[in-house]
Amino acid sequence: MGLEGPLVAGVSVAAAALGGRYLIQAWQAFKARPAVPRMRRFYEGGFERAMTRREAALILGVREHAVMEKIKEAHRRVMVANHPDAGGSHYLASKINEAKDVLTGKTKGSGSAF
């Protein structure tokens, strides 16, 4: 009867020590894992002379036949990352807008003003 208290205390301390050791090892393994980018990468290719639906979909990161809501959401996301007011390029912003227009069917007239 007199040994139960110290025995329980000893087992509890040993369990806490093993649990702490496991947590420290798990934390070190978690910190040592390779960094994986959380966002998908944006389209890095050059631009074609006349934008196709395929190229527009690659620029916005959606499928060619995506629904309007997905196209608008992707356009906003890519535009925020490349907006001229935030240090982005005017040319890229125009291409992003052109990609949205191509996918939504609002392409400009084929006639040239020049």
CA-derived radius of gyration, the chain: 28
pLDDT at 98 over 60: yes
In degrees rounded to 5, what are phi and psi of residue 44?
Answer: -110, 0
pLDDT tens digit string along 54-84?
889 988 989 988 899 999 999 999 999 888 8
pLDDT tens digit string along 16-56?
999 999 999 999 998 888 776 555 566 666 777 888 898 89
pTM score, whole prediction:
0.55
46: left (phi over 0), alpha (psi -120 to 50) or beta: beta
Yes or no: domain 53-104 corresponds to CATH 3.40.190.10: no
The domain locations on the chain are 1-35, 53-104
